[in-house]
A and B are shown apart, each in its own frame.
Chain A
């Protein structure tokens, strides 16, 4: 009656062994390390780099425990955090700008475990310390930029086809194109229909056309904006020298940035939060005379222009609204010095940008061009030089009254790519490292002492059956940890609370079984029959109660966020493992010990 076929024992044993193997990595702790990764697309990660890293460290008399080659970077294991900092400095000094050297914590799991995919649990920020940002992309601004560009394209196209245009205005997310009369409007409509495929064109009245972006086009703009911004963020994060950053899209217009282990949160926020982008506009030379400028100072700005009362070199500038080139067209930027040894920023455009820039400078020799740095919607004219000759090489130098630090900062911002649309931090969580370690210890203690208390109680109240229940609970815990480690789910402090809760809830199944067995014994059934009936009858109830808990857990996974989701994931996993261990493992032990005894009269319960 109370016998399990051999294969069931083997399955259970295998599960327990796997549980042990995959939970082991969590005992090993972490070692400080540095990670060398390429900062530009030209820099290579190869054997030569590895040798160079080793040589640099040896020369600086920094002892290291090992060097690991990985496709995305070289990792060096070190003894302690002091050596870690020294190593970082030494390597950064030697490798220069082409590589970033980041501080990192590597798990000390031995090779043989790692080869089967056994890793320690992935700790969330509230256990590791670090920074978490949720950034919202200003989609309206992105759309406006796109509409500006379209306006220019429309003008150019119609001018090329020699169709006179009365004006182009923006109305919400539509563009209204005004013609002189119905005829030109017809002709214009034809041309635009061919050229502007990403808009639907409708006639407003005899002389006006309305262009509305198609839903497909809108989505494309959104996606492109997010992609561009994420790329920019990634570059900026790399500049910060953070290992294992997390940059993910969340929803249609948000980006999550997580920087584990970051100590200097001020700098992180500063670099990430800045949304500087470069724009090149033409200066409105026609209106740059005394009276118009003073009127502008008072607030009367000529239509089609923006007014900047001061620029970095001091004088007020009237700038045409249309942006001709933006940060997207920049290939690179670096700080350097100009001919008079003043700090300057050298900017390179990409092919498209270079082409446009060449055309721009060719058409406007003698006129002034304004180079604007836009931060959070406010623009600043960095410099407004006169275009002396066409610049076909795609390189421009930004000079002005800036310090070396200014030049470096501006270059960094430009180099990391400008944002296609401004972003704003709408949620931020910073956990100091000491709090992280403290949270882990608190969590572990809660689980541990709860488990001990339950074990003691079960052993006293249900005696041997209680002990079996406690062992099953232990196996449950083991398997839960193993599964969490294996799937690398993020463990947060609420997640550890969920582990504790699982311990408390899982014992329910065993209590049900044990109570049922006692009842059967009291009703006069034989020991074997009682054991059997106890397990059978209890199973349906156990299933029902676990399913209801599971439903609660799933709802939390769907609608929770951050730490709460971590809680829910652990809860659900715990329910699954408890279904396995509470019934099968404890029954296996019962069957092993009592199963053989034919004439069983007494059960220790």
Chain B
């Protein structure tokens, strides 16, 4: 069985301007939503308390919120979580209130209303920890970008490193844009998903670049654009199948993984879908525009050519 049998190369590079403009537009939209709506940061970044409770029958957020207000917690947000009998209560940081006592008081207030309520999970993040997680997250993102760029510059050439990182950061911003637009909760696990997407989606660029390099060696007469077209066409099958397989797993997580992994799976899905697009149709044009030529690939060191074809 074969889905993608192409008799001729698809002339991707002639659409380079169009595809890049589409990317740019989605990118700008994402930036706009990030700036205006902002991300809905989870409790790990803002600090505060999150309490998950389970009722025997269906839970009513309104009633729970009343019970809490009566106990003095007026700034809590209560929502259904996953099933209809689970509630998630979010409370921002309060000056001078130690969380340790907070969750006990909250459960007490809820029990007064409904004695069978069960505490499933409590998370309290103090303000310093929250701030640190934000910083750490940003540093992790920065390190990943630098690390990947360094590796790609070493394996291929700086133009490729730059093109790959631009294309993939573009992915990251789009994921964040989606999260800002839909106001899905951006938790630490989602950040982990985003960083994984960054690493994963660079794969695509690598596969295409690898092919481009091979083509430069094989086809001495084609122009750079034609070589790129051929490379993308040849690897298209593999790209779509791999992404499809990964998406199968992510779908499995979406269905079976429960609430905690839900946003994680969403971030991955968006990353995978846009990843195909950007790595194939954005990074290659950038390479083209940065002026890549045959000489950049086939460096005077034949040793590199030999090592790339060594036996595993």
Indicate whether B91 reaches chain A with its CB closer than 8 angstroms.
Answer: no
Bound-state Cα–Cα, A430 to B100, Å: 10
CB–CB A511/B245 < 8 A: yes
CB distance from A474 to the nearest CB of B (A): 14
Choose among A445, A508, A556 the residue that contacts B192 (Cβ–Cβ < 8 A).
Answer: A556
Q: Which of B185-215 contact A (CB under 8 A)?
A: 188-189, 191-192, 195-196, 198-200, 202-203, 206-207, 210, 214
Known pairs A497-B264, A551-B151; A265 contacts B143 (CB<8 A): no
CB <8 Å contact, A536 and B52? no
Task: Decide: B203 and A428 in contact? CB cutoff 8 A.
Answer: no
Q: A454-B248, A511-B238 are in contact. Are A428 and B99 (CB under 8 A)?
A: yes
Whether the Cβ atoms of A461 and B1 lie closer than 8 Å is: yes
Interface residue A560 (Cβ < 8 Å from any Cβ of B): yes
B180 within 8 A of A: no
**Cα–Cα distance between A102 and B133 once the two chains are bound (Å):** 35
Residues of B within 8 A of A428 (CB): 99-100, 103, 122-124
Say what secondary structure dominates the interface of chain B. helix
Select one of A425, A427, A460 contacting B1, CB under 8 A.
Answer: A460
In the complex, A504 Cα to B155 Cα: how many Å?
25
Question: Is the CB–CB distance between A430 and B119 below 8 Å?
Answer: yes
A548 B199 Cβ-Cβ under 8 A:
yes
Q: Does A302 contact B (CB under 8 A)?
A: no
A269, B192: Cβ atoms closer than 8 Å = no
- Bound Cα distance from A507 to B250, whole angstroms: 14
Whether B151 lies near A548 (C-beta < 8 A) is yes
Given A269-B104, A511-B241, A555-B140, does the pair A432, B1 have CB atoms closer than 8 Å?
Answer: no
Bound: A561/B148 CA distance, A: 22
Interface string of B291-312 (1 = CB under 8 A from A): 0000000000000000011111
1/0 per residue, CB under 8 A from A, across B207-232: the answer is 10010001000000000000000000
Within 8 A of A (CB), among B254-312: 255-258, 260-261, 264, 268, 308-312
Cβ contact within 8 Å between A551 and B249: no
Residue among A425, A446, A555, A562 making CB contact with B195, cutoff 8 Å: A555
Contact present for A453 and B249 (CB under 8 Å)? yes
Could you tell me the distance between the alpha carbons of A568 and B143 in the complex, rounded to whole angstroms? Answer: 14
Q: Are B256 and A442 closer than 8 Å at their CB atoms?
A: yes
| A515, B148: Cβ atoms closer than 8 Å | no
Contact between B196 and A454, CB atoms less than 8 A apart: no
Chain B residues closer than 8 Å to A453, beta-carbon distance: 248-249, 251-252
Bound together, the chains give a CA A458 to CA B248 distance in angstroms of: 12
Whether B52 lies near A556 (C-beta < 8 A) is no
Stretch at the interface among A74-82, A138-146, A537-545: A537-545
Interface pair B258/A439, CB less than 8 Å apart: yes
- Scoring A residues 91 to 129 as 1 if CB is less than 8 Å from chain B, else 0, what string do you get? 000000000000000000000000000000000000000
Interface centre among A136, A537, A559, A583 (most CB of B within 10 A): A559
B14 proximity list for chain A (CB < 8 A)? none
* Contact call B122/A429, Cβ cutoff below 8 A: yes
Q: How many residues of A contact B (CB 8 A)?
A: 80
Q: Which residues of B contact A445 (CB under 8 A)?
A: 252, 256-257
Distance A503 CA – B98 CA, assembled complex (angstroms) = 42
- Chain B: minimal CB distance from A583 (Å): 6
SS class, residues of chain A in contact with chain B:
helix
Is B98 touching A555 in the complex (CB atoms < 8 A)?
no
In whole Å, how far is A523's beta carbon from the nearest beta carbon of chain B?
11
Question: Are B120's CB and A434's CB within 8 A?
Answer: yes
| In contact, B98 and A564 (Cβ under 8 angstroms) | no
Kindly provide the distance from the CB of B233 to the nearest chain A CB, expressed in whole angstroms: 11
- Give the Cβ gap from B3 to chain A, nearest Cβ, in Å: 8
Does B60 touch A at the CB level, under 8 Å? no
Residues of B within 8 A of A403 (CB): none
Query: Is A394 among interface residues, defined by CB-CB distance under 8 A?
Result: no
What is the CB-to-nearest-CB distance from B119 to chain A, in angstroms, rounded to a whole number?
6
CA distance A447 to B248 in the complex (A): 10
Q: Name the distance in Å between B81's Cβ and chain A's nearest Cβ.
A: 11
CB pair A507 B245 closer than 8 Å: yes
Q: Are A560 and B196 in contact (CB under 8 A)?
A: no
Pairs across A and B, CB under 8 Å, 20 listed: A425-B99, A448-B252, A449-B252, A449-B255, A450-B248, A458-B245, A461-B2, A461-B241, A463-B1, A494-B261, A504-B246, A507-B245, A536-B310, A548-B148, A548-B199, A551-B151, A552-B199, A554-B147, A555-B195, A560-B188
Please report A residues at the B interface, Cβ cutoff 8 Å. Answer: 134, 136, 265-266, 269-270, 273, 424-432, 434-435, 438-439, 442-443, 445-451, 453-454, 457-458, 460-461, 463, 493-494, 497, 500-501, 503-505, 507-508, 511-512, 515, 518-519, 535-537, 539-541, 544-545, 547-556, 558-564, 567-568, 571, 583
Nearest 4 Cβ contacts at the A-B interface: A552-B199, A450-B249, A426-B126, A504-B246
